[in-house]
Amino acid sequence: MSVLDASILSRTFDWLKAHLARNGELDGLSAADIDFLAADIGITAKQLRAIAPSVVDHGWQMDAMMRARGLDPSTVRQMFAPLVRDMEVLCTQCRSAGRCRNALARGTAAQEMDAFCLNAGTIEQLAAGPDAPPR
């Protein structure tokens, strides 16, 4: 995913959050619109419907978690666009955002992420490098 794609995804989540705040759900969109929106951000319509009720953009936290493990989020996005898209979908489903923010603020996120982060395994694998065995 390029930086431009990441920006588009972020703007799409912003639009989706605003739409959901106004309408409370995706009912105002046709099935074709939902399919188009989902395809545009690289997920299925089923995934979009699943995450829509709780869409919260935790992208900055995901980036901070990557930085806590010594990764450059921009480089990761450029090299592993589909993987990052999947990670972003998981982040939208996060129920531990407060715990994540606190660990980031304390500087202990790298040590604690396995206990609460849905993307911890992926981040750890990325941090281990291409020659590391799969977790």
- Structure confidence by residue, pLDDT tens digits, 28-66: 667 787 788 778 777 788 887 776 655 555 678 899 999
What's the pLDDT at 27?
62
Q: Answer for the pair 65, 119: CB distance below 8 angstroms, yes or no.
A: yes
pLDDT score of 21 more than 60: no
pTM of the model: 0.60
CA 61 to chain centre: 9
Question: Contact, 7 vs 1, CB < 8 A?
Answer: no
Give me the torsion for CA of 121, 14, 8, 76, rounded to 10°.
Answer: -20
pLDDT surpassing 60 at residue 25: no
SS3 content of the chain, % helix, strand, coil (to 5): 70, 0, 30
Q: For residues 124 and 72, what is the distance between their CA atoms, to the nearest angstrom?
A: 13
Counting Cα atoms < 13 Å in the Cβ hemisphere of 34 gives 17
Ramachandran bin of 70, using left for φ above 0, alpha for ψ from -120 to 50, beta for the remaining angles: left
Question: For residues 113 and 68, what is the distance between their CA atoms, to the nearest angstrom?
Answer: 10
Residue-wise pLDDT for 108-122, tens only, equals 999 999 999 999 999
